[in-house]
Structure 1
Amino acid sequence: MRVFPRFKFLSRAVHEEHEGEHDGERNRVDNYIGHPNEVILMDASGNSVLTLRRSRKLGLVDSWFVYEGERGKQSTRSKWCKSNNSPVCCVRKRVNILDGKPKVQAYVYRVASDSDKRHAAFTVEGSYAHRTCKVLDECKKAVAEIKRKEANSKDVSFGIEIFQLVVHPGFDPSFAMALVLLLDQMFS
């Protein structure tokens, strides 16, 4: 399985930084900055981990780019962050109903190399509207899942807004959360 190596570093920084503290909040999301096409995923200290920005190109495909840290600012978290802050990956909503893959909700493409532009690194299959999705790697192995939260009692029912994000070992939790945010932007 090929994982984005940069996200492994960010994940360790997010989750090991407050290992002794249990304040109940590990990540938070900022989208109240006046840019409706931009969402920032932050750690508990308020440092930006990932920036998600909608592509401004005209077209029918809903595309989002994922950047390290806060786009437009030098990341203090990572020394290898370039000043031009190029995107790490692109997430595209599937819109072609004739492509024969009705389960696929979105494709995740690597941006680093030209050879990977036509081959998806990850696919999101299932139904985000019903909160039953799986993120699959190139080998079709599930690396993360979105599941509806089930109550212990049959008398209690959770709404569609309550769900679980299950991240399998070896996959970055911050990137999994970024995919949830992007799916919410694409399908809500």
Structure 2
Amino acid sequence: MEATRGKKNPAEDRMCGREIFPDLCSPAPVRLTVWCKSLLFHGHGYTVYDDSDGRMVFRVDNYAHNWRQETVLMDYTGNVLLTIRRRRKILNLTESWEAYKGDKDVQRMVGERMPLFKATKNLGCHSCTISMFTGCGVKPLGYRMNWSRDKEWSKIYQAAANTPVAEVSRKCGSMAKKLLDKDVLTLRVQPGMDQALAMAMIMITNSMR
């Protein structure tokens, strides 16, 4: 018993860091194609593919009337990974979004359960702050997102080290420097960064722009 005292469970280590979905944390850089369209004919959303093998990684199908207030990020089979909810308080100019793990009744969860992370738009500039919540008793990683409307890119940084962990930009076609349509993007995710978190943050960024 003494030998194991004070040691953390590996699952706890993952939840205290940025590996919320370990299977979506690659030891090598990953490049994804983000198509800003839903697979559903009348839906709003995203369809995301891995450039290395063409397989679908994520999908977002928004067909409810309140899709601007609440949306879900799913894996390729339709299992909900994250529920994202917009939070706007009356008489408050600051916009924020909260993300919860899984597919649950977010209306019931708000006020009862701590979100996985909260994104708050910074006033007066094209950026937002990401606050992670773990409940593990350790200080979690924080992130910062910046974006450029003119150059059409968004970047995610690990706040403490100011290290870029993901970046999204317009996708180029087979011809050099030939950009595809505005709804086709390239998402580059650095080693160790959870791809689901990166995609959720990019979705929030697009809502802020």
Please say whether Structure 1 and Structure 2 have the same fold, judged by a TM-score greater than 0.5: yes
Name the amino acid aligned to 1:126. W
Residue 10 of structure 1 deviates from its aligned partner by 2.2
Q: Give the paired residue count.
A: 162
Q: Which residue of 2 aligns with 1:88?
A: 116
- Which 4+ residue blocks in structure 1 deviate beyond 6 angstroms? 113-116
State the match for 2:100 in structure 1: 67
Report sequence identity in percent: 25
Is 1:182 the counterpart of 2:204? The answer is yes
State the distance in 2 between where 1:125 and 1:42 align: 24
In structure 1, runs of 5+ residues without a counterpart are 16-21, 74-83
State the Cα deviation string for residues 145-168 of structure 1 (Å, max 9, x = none). 112222342594323222210000
Alignment of 1:6-25 (within 5 A): 8-12=19-23, 24-25=55-56
Give per-residue Cα distances to partners, 1:60-85, cap 9 Å, x unaligned.
11100010012328xxxxxxxxxx54
Deviation by residue 1:84-108 (Cα, 9 ceiling, x = unmatched): 543011001122x2xxxx4x51110
Map 1:90-129 to 2 at 5 A.
90-95=118-123, 97=124, 102=125, 104-112=126-134, 121-127=142-148
Mapped contact 1:11–1:173 kept (Cα < 8 A): no
- How far off its partner does 1:35 sit? 2.5
TM-score (norm: length of structure 1): 0.71
Q: How does 1:134-149 map to 2 (within 5 A)?
A: 134-137=155-158, 138-149=160-171
**Alignment correspondent of 2:4:** none
Structure possessing the higher radius of gyration over alpha carbons: 2
- Give the alignment's TM-score, normalised by structure 2: 0.65
1:182 shift after superposition: 0.7
Equivalent pair of 1:109/1:121 in contact (CA under 8 Å): yes
Q: Distance in 2 between matches of 1:142 and 1:170?
A: 12
Tell which has more relative contact order, 1 or 2 (C-alpha 8 A, sep 6+).
Answer: 2
